[in-house]
Structure 1
Amino acid sequence: MTTVTSRAGTAAVVGWVGSARDRAAGARGLLDDSGRQPAAPPVPAGDYAAVLVCRDRILLMRDEQARIPLFFRESGGRVSAVSTSVRCLGSATELEPRYFCRYLTGNLAQPHSDLTPFAGVHRVLGGEVVELSLTGQLRSRTLRPARRATGLPEPTADGACLDEAAQELRLALETAVGRRMGTTTACHVSGGTDSTSVALLAARLLAEERGGAGDLVLLAGRFSRGELAAERPYLDVAMEAIRRHTPAARAVMVDADDVADFDDFQHHAGDADEPSAHAFRAPFWARLHAAAAELGCDTLLTGCGADPVVDANPYHLHRLARTGRLRQMTEQARAWAAGSERGLRDIVHAYVVRPAFPLAAERITALRRGGTVLGGLGTFNRPGWLRPGFARAHGYRDAGIAESRFVYGRKPEQSLYAAANYVAAPDPLSWQRARRDGFFLSHPFLDPEVVALMSRLPAAAAFRPGRPKAVLREAMADLLPAPIRGRALKVPFNDLYARGLRTHGDALIALCRSARHPLIAEMFDVETLCRAVREAQLGLGDSYSWDRVNSSLALVAWLERLDRRSGAPDAAVPVSAGS
């Protein structure tokens, strides 16, 4: 945490504002801007949460991407404490059932919702400014709109369109990487186009623009067997290309052959600040993060977010359909189908029908694919193990509607970018590691300027059948090694997931059956949940249904360990003019 004082007041900032290299200057600028303006100031760039005690008010704020959590405890219109940990503000005996319904509607449901697991504890939303009096009276909550982008001129030739878009993306990415680099910067390198691009830009900035000042760590998980061993040649090529720019960069290869999803699941899921749908993948990331912490890194850059942000936006088809350009939509859907080796019907259903009628489309799919617990279970439908009475009593249907509107919105081609941001927003596990290890995860592809650029590009600039992320590949053509620039597919982590379920499936079922927290039996039909785990173990279902199983298991583990935790790692900050 960075604390600064000026004539405007005092600011406590977790994270960085403006540039990760000069945290004190960014915190001071945030304080001075807030102190001069009677209304909420614009949100500056950065990954931060801040408490500003000005002469006449107290402001709580977060950056618009919600990278660092911030919570406050409120009762009777007065805020009594603020913390980056929700656990230290709440009571294990006063839970909020509506939160659990919202959480169970999908992976995106937590960070963009005010609700928290604890009654009376609220989340400061991304881009929000909460204004308090000096005695803690809640005055206002202002959610600033996302940045708007002006339109690009539409070139006449597709090639010119791609070239222009690639130049702008390269500049935006270089800026995004540069502002995130700290004194010792780690880059996650997997051998894919996305992470390799970020690491190459970081190495180039160190070598050419900063005269080699600062340290660079190249962090990778290495597999010598299983499906992921096929990534090893690409990883070696990526490391070699990056170190050509910065020979002093330290390559840290973390052996991960013995890691599987769901390893030590009760610890990873149970000790999180709030339930985490991604707790099953924590063992792999925890091993990499431990290596970064040992080297004293202050920021870890990832390639997260590139898939939805810099690839062609398939929901452009929805825009064509709703504006009546059905012939054009059909022609482009055929091109999408040919380029992705999917059927035309699948493309239209996924990107035109489902965004228009998400709940109805899921119900129809569930009826067609019924017969198992996971058959047809999508993102928003009530999973069969969630008791109907609990769902009705605590607003599961309303939560599902709200979540579907957030994910798709009235313009799915724009909502895609907001949803992508919250996939990477710090889950409770990454934030817990950040507090302990001293570094933050940061995602240049999700920088607001990069998102604004890609959201305004014409479809012709981004879509090339059979060539995903065409704009990124063109933007990085002079840096990416040929084997990586030319690859279209990357090996997913399915092997880790399948191996984890095979190894730990029985233990996960035993966890559910032995659970004693009263809310678990009230919320779940435990035997149905156990059947769902068994089906996932056998490979039934799909990614949507597996996500629902993962999030439910994480909630069981979290509730089971709730009463055993004594205090939070960070103390709550009392709210008053003297804080």
Structure 2
Amino acid sequence: MQALRLDWAGGAPRLRAAEAMARHGLVTTVSSRAGTAVVVGWVGSVRDRVAGARGLLDDVGRPGATPRLPIGDYAAILVYPDRIVLMRDCHARIPLFFRESGGRVSAVSTSARCLGDSERLEHGYFCRYLSGNLAQPHSELTPFSGVHRILGGEVVELSLTGQMRGRVRGRVGEADALREPTAGGLRLSGAGKNLRLALESAVGRRVGRMTACHVSGGTDSTSIALLAARLLGRGQGRGEDLALLAGRFDTGELAGERSYLEEAMKEIRRHAPAARPVMVDAGDVTDFDDFEHHAGAADEPHAHAFRAPFWSRLHGAAAELGCDILMTGCGADPIVDANPLHLHKLARTGQLRQMTKQARAWAAGTERGVRDVVYDYVMRPALPLAAERITALARRGTVLGGLGSFTRPRWLRPGFARAHGYREASIAESRFVFGRRPEESFFDAANYLAAPDAVSWHRARQDGFFLSHPFLDREVTATMRSLPVAATFHPGRPKAVLREAMDDLLPSRIRDRAVKVPFDQLYARGLRKHGDELIDLCRSARHPLVEEMFDVEVLCRAVREAQLGVGNAASWDRMNSSLALVAWLDGLAAPRTSAPGAAMPVIDGSCS
């Protein structure tokens, strides 16, 4: 989706923004004597997007300054009298791409597809994409040759004629030192208090004119909605400016969540009586509904396109209310829970007795064997590719058996993988996920589980809002990084710090629940319902790269095995990614039926 575009006419920059998104407030344009800034998303505060954009323009334009990237979900183009600056927030929520040749940038856009040539595809990108679910947001490669991604936290400087002057990127965690830890970490008694303060700030930054919160009845989403309700109830808005969005299931496993959902809604409305509960009937939704549309129309291949039907149903309800932001509880599982890869640090530093003791506690608290805990959090992070090869050899016999996160799936042709760097892509992916210090990489990798919200991004023009995740806020992540393991891990009580932080707000029944019903039923029903369609999609794919890349019959066997319940979440993710790529390539081969939204000129012909 093209929210803004920069190109050159007669050697002078021409900057345009999508009119519909500007009307919704999703694109903000400000100008001053210093220059002009176009910001997609928000900087600093959702409510005051203009002030945030103006502050960014002034800070970056200050001579000799090295500005600290502010908190927010944004991509921005800043045009000054002597240069052009392209930038994204540290957590890479909003995409931004540029087309470059010979050191000169010829166009910049939020859409790689609008910059690329469908006849010139970058085959190495597809190996990177297929090597794991986290690959896209932290890889410069795009599906199109000559089109590059600006990475999270990266600042790119151009001359006024588009010549590349420099690219500077700090480590994503570099700006996380917002809360300086005391010696030895925060005191245990203050862990919950500090997390509560960070979450309140994160939610406060995201409250808009009309705010929606996704509520599922779980600890995470209920916490975010309660904090939003309290903020609005204390005069930072009106109660009727809050919508509580939930998917309702009357039958099946997910119907068991309904009583928790109703209790959560009741408690939230006690703090904001005028808040509007929006219960969306999702009983007929299954994964893979209209899969070819959701996967084929995306700007890039979207590994989680199979889950788009559920979110699209909820997004449509929020759009009818005129919401300008939708907050979720996404990210809480990895961010505010105990970090299991701390066991790797203990083993790496020779604290084997302490590691064994804590591994036993982890095993008891998660109802797993000690051997499994040590394998997952000590051995596998040390040698991830070797560990996966051994597992694959031990569980051969089916297509999905033993397939992990990085090893080559059997349907990816060996010749294609060798020719286009699949092994190198797997190594890069495993190093990103685990790194030299897996306990630190854990936070960086967790961030990308929710970025860049491809469903939200694809629908933003029609819905008028983006998803935003307070648990992935830089301040929240910084707080959790600073906590010692003793403060975060309590066997049998996941997310102990969050429960402590929200003790006075969460209903006891929700606060004390340790297990939530997953969406496995939607996935199983979707495969049963659409399995034959998915197989037909693979066999009838028109793009020549599908046959060159995949052994289609082996991929079809994987779909059949998944229908029968063979494999695990990791192997199903690998299959889902491949199916999404087939649909995307097929959509690329088909003629485009929808015209891009109307654009309005911001700077046309000159920068003055």
- Residue 175 of structure 2 aligns to a residue in which SS? coil
Matched, 1:247 2:247: no
2:551 to 509, 525, 530: 525
Given the alignment of the two structures, is residue 215 of structure 1 paired with residue 204 of structure 2, yes or no? no
What is the CA–CA distance in structure 1 between the aligned matches of 2:462 and 2:128, rounded to whole Å? Answer: 28
Q: Which amino acid aligns with 1:497?
A: Y
Q: What is the percent sequence identity of the aligned residues?
A: 73
Using a 3 Å threshold, how does the CA distance of structure 1 residues 214 and 153 change in structure 2: closer, same or farther? farther
1:150-161 to 2 correspondences below 5 Å:
150-154=180-184, 161=187
**Does structure 1 conserve the Cα–Cα contact (< 8 Å) formed by 2:239 and 2:274?**
no
Tell me if the contact between 1:85 and 1:570 (Cα under 8 Å) persists in the aligned partners: no
Check 1:419–1:262 CA distance in 2 against 1; reply closer, same or farther (3 A cut): same
Segments of 4+ moved more than 4 angstroms: 570-577
Give the counterpart of 2:175 among 131, 138, 147. 147
Distance 2:162 2:391 in 1: 50
Trace 1:117-136 onto structure 2 (pairs within 5 A): 117-136=143-162
3-state SS of paired residue (1:562) = helix
Given that 2:74 and 2:93 are in contact with CA atoms closer than 8 Å, whether structure 1 keeps it comes out as yes
Per the normalisation by structure 1, the TM-score is 0.97
Deviation at 1:212?
2.9
Q: Is the 8 A contact 1:273 1:429 kept in 2?
A: no
Cα deviation for residue 209 of structure 1 reads 4.3
Q: Is the 8 A contact 1:268 1:279 kept in 2?
A: yes
- Does the residue aligned with 1:81 lie in a helix, a strand or coil? strand
Q: For residues 196-223 of structure 1, what are the alpha-carbon distances to aligned partners after superposition, in whole Å with 9 as ceiling and x for unaligned?
A: 0000000000011426377000000000
2:596 to 569, 573, 576: 569
Q: In structure 2, what is the equivalent of residue 506 of structure 1?
A: 532
Deviations 1:507-544 (A, max 9, x none): 10011011121000000000000001100010000000
Instruction: Show the counterpart of 2:264.
Output: 238
Q: Which residue of 2 aligns with 1:273?
A: 299
The offset of 1:91, in angstroms, is: 1.1
Query: Do the aligned partners of residues 138 and 553 (structure 1) sit closer, same or farther apart at CA in structure 2, a change above 3 Å counting?
Result: same
Cα displacement (A) at 1:317: 0.3
- SS of 2:330's equivalent in the other structure is coil
How many angstroms does 1:56 deviate by? 1.0
| 1:339 aligned residue | 365
Task: State the Cα deviation string for residues 419-466 of structure 1 (Å, max 9, x = none).
Answer: 111010024322111232110100000001110110111000000000
> SS at 2:38's partner residue?
strand
**Deviation for aligned residue 1:563:** 2.6
Q: TM-score, normalised by structure 2?
A: 0.92
Counterpart position of 1:303:
329
Determine if contact 1:50/1:60 at 8 Å carries over to the other structure. Answer: yes
Q: Distance in 2 between matches of 1:564 and 1:335?
A: 54
Distance in 1, matches of 2:84 and 2:239, equals 38
Instruction: Return the alpha-carbon distance in structure 2 between the equivalents of residues 251 and 153 of structure 1.
Output: 45
What residue is the counterpart of 2:433 in the other structure?
Answer: 407
Whether contact under 8 Å (1:112, 1:125) holds in the other structure is: yes
* Alignment partner, residue 69 of structure 2: 43
Does structure 1 retain, via aligned residues, the 8 Å contact 2:37–2:79? Answer: yes
CA distance in 1, matches of 2:109, 2:281: 36
Question: 2:76 and 2:464 mapped to 1: Cα distance?
Answer: 17
Does the Cα contact within 8 Å between 2:239 and 2:272 map onto a contact in 1?
Answer: no
Distance in 2 between residues matched to 1:347 and 1:284, nearest whole Å: 33
Q: Which segment is superposed worse, 83-92 or 245-254?
A: 83-92
Partner AA of 2:505 in structure 1: L
- Distance in 2, Cα, partners of 1:3 & 1:496: 41
Matched residue SS, 1:220: strand
Residues 244-291 of structure 1: CA deviation (Å, up to 9, x unaligned): 000110100000000000001001111111100000000000000001
Q: CA deviation at 1:564?
A: 2.2
Asked whether the equivalents of residues 58 and 133 of structure 1 are also in contact (C-alpha less than 8 Å), the reply is yes
Distance 1:306 1:74 in 2: 38
* Residues 153, 480 of structure 1: alpha-carbon distance in 2 compared, 3 angstrom cutoff: farther
Match of 2:54 in 1: 28
**Cα deviation digits, residues 280-310 of structure 1 (max 9, x gap):** 0000000000011111100000000000000
What SS does structure 1 have at the residue aligned with 2:91?
Answer: coil
Amino acid at match of 1:236: E
Alignment partner of 2:122 out of 80, 96, 105: 96
- Give the secondary-structure state (helix, strand or coil) at the position aligned to 1:557: helix
- 1:172 aligned onto 2:195: no
Q: Does 1:539 align with 2:569?
A: no
Q: Is the 8 A contact 1:181 1:299 kept in 2?
A: yes
- Calculate the aligned-residue CA RMSD, in Å: 1.6
- Would the aligned equivalents of 1:222 and 1:256 in 2 still touch at CA under 8 Å? yes
Q: Which residue of 1 aligns with 2:35?
A: 9
Question: What pairs with 1:77-116 in structure 2 (closer than 5 Å)?
Answer: 77-116=103-142
User: What is the number of residues matched between the two proteins?
Assistant: 575
Deviation at 1:569, TM superposition (A): 2.8
Cα distance, 1:163 vs structure 2: 2.8
Q: Does 1:355 align with 2:385?
A: no
Name the aligned partner's letter for residue 147 of structure 1. A
Aligned AA (1:569): P
Q: Would the aligned equivalents of 2:289 and 2:309 in 1 still touch at CA under 8 Å? A: yes
Distance in 2 separating the partners of 1:559 and 1:51: 30
State the match for 1:458 in structure 2: 484
> What is the match of residue 449 of structure 2?
423
1:459-478 alignment to 2 at 5 Å? 459-478=485-504
1:377 is matched with which residue? Answer: 403
Please give the per-residue CA displacement for 1:11-46, whole angstroms capped at 9, x wherever unaligned: 000111111110011000100111113354210111
Quote the Cα distance in structure 1 between the aligned partners of 2:132 and 2:327.
26
Are 2:195 and 2:497, in contact at CA under 8 Å, matched by a contact in 1?
yes
State whether residues 304 and 443 of structure 1, in contact with CA within 8 Å, keep that contact through their aligned partners in structure 2.
yes
Within-5 A mapping of 1:187-206: 187-206=213-232
User: What is the letter of the counterpart of residue 261 of structure 1?
Assistant: D
SS at match of 1:147: helix
Distance 1:69 1:433 in 2: 14
Q: Deviations over 1:77-131 (max 9, x none)?
A: 1111111111111111111101000000111000111011111111111100010
After superposition, the C-alpha distances for 1:37-88 in whole angstroms (9 at most, x for unaligned) are 3354210111100000012110000000101111111111111111111111
Structure 1 unmatched ranges of 5 or more:
none
Secondary structure in 2 aligned to 1:82?
A: strand
Q: What is the alpha-carbon distance in structure 2 between the residues aligned to residue 552 and residue 332 of structure 1?
A: 38
| 2:507 counterpart residue number | 481
CA offsets per residue over residues 478-508 of structure 1, 9 Å max, x none? 0000110010000000000000000000110
Which amino acid in the other structure matches residue 100 of structure 2? Answer: E
Read off the aligned partner of 2:504 and give its amino acid letter: D
- Once residues 169 and 339 of structure 1 are traced to their aligned partners in structure 2, the CA distance between those partners, rounded to angstroms, is 23
Maintained 8 Å contact 1:161/1:460:
no
**Structure 2: which 5+ runs fail to align?**
1-26
Partner of residue 556, structure 1: 582
**2:406 & 2:280 partners in 1: Cα distance?**
37
Using the alignment, how far apart are the partners of 1:498 and 1:576 within structure 2?
A: 54
Change (3 A) 1:211 1:142: closer
CA distance in 2, matches of 1:123, 1:191: 37
Task: Tell me if structure 2 keeps the 8 A contact 1:135–1:575.
Answer: no
Q: Are 1:366 and 2:392 matched, yes or no?
A: yes
The SS at the match of 1:88 is helix
Higher mean C-alpha deviation, range 76-85 or range 497-506: 76-85
The answer to whether the aligner puts 1:59 opposite 2:85 as a matched pair is yes
Partner secondary structure for residue 155 of structure 2: strand
